[in-house]
Amino acid sequence: MIPLPRRVKTAVRLLQGPRDWWLALRTVGWMSILPFLKHILPLPRLVRLMQRPGDGHGRRLNSELRAAAIVRGLCRTSGGNCLERSLILYRVLSRANASPSLVAGMGKTEDFIGHVWVDVDGRSLLESPQTLAPYVEVMRFGPDGLRRPAQDG
């Protein structure tokens, strides 16, 4: 028997219906093109590209949480680049009326280490406070894709 690739195992475990599979297909599509786009487009343009107007159905917390789990699971199987994962999650949550913010931070030490994450309702969706502690926010994009003032950390 041929072993299944890790991505396929993750997909089978996470995906429960046609909507989940459609989200997974879109996520994999973005995962294939974002590594190229992030090198040719400046971040503000990339964020505007990924921003989507809401679907008009209002917020659905269960859908937001499922979408976050699917995006996180699939992006983790590819090595998990924080910028790519966060851009995809930002797009999905924008469409789901969650009013996400995409946040870029730099390490507080002298090393030039950066990190990107998504906030919803003032809290990071996939990151713990301990994970974000080494970073200071330097850039924030609101739900409309436009740059906002960085919040004090």
Query: Would you list the domain boundaries of the chain?
Result: 6-148
Q: Other C-beta atoms within 10 Å of 111: how many?
A: 9
Beta carbons of 117 and 132 less than 8 angstroms apart = yes
Residue 16 in this model has a pLDDT that exceeds 70: yes
User: Could you tell me which residue, 65 or 94, shows the higher pLDDT?
Assistant: 94
Residue 24 in this model has a pLDDT that exceeds 60: yes
User: Could you tell me which residue, 4 or 94, shows the higher pLDDT?
Assistant: 94
Residue 145 in this model has a pLDDT that exceeds 70: yes
Those residues with Cβ within 8 angstroms of residue 145's Cβ, 6 or more apart along the chain or in another chain: 47, 48, 50, 51, 94
Q: What is the pLDDT of residues 35-77, one digit of tens each?
A: 999 999 999 999 999 998 877 777 777 777 778 887 887 777 5
Q: What is the Cα–Cα distance from 106 to 114, expressed in whole angstroms?
A: 4
Element (H, E) at 139: strand 135-141
Those residues with Cβ within 8 angstroms of residue 52's Cβ, 6 or more apart along the chain or in another chain: 91, 94, 95
Beta carbons of 80 and 88 less than 8 angstroms apart = no
Listed residue (63, 58, 61) closest to 23, CA to CA: 63
Beta carbons of 143 and 94 less than 8 angstroms apart = yes
Assign 81 a pLDDT band (cuts: 50, 70, 90).
Answer: confident
- pLDDT score of 64: 77
Dihedral sign for Cα 149, 44, 120, 53, please: positive
**Average model confidence (pLDDT) for the chain?**
84
Those residues with Cβ within 8 angstroms of residue 21's Cβ, 6 or more apart along the chain or in another chain: 11, 15
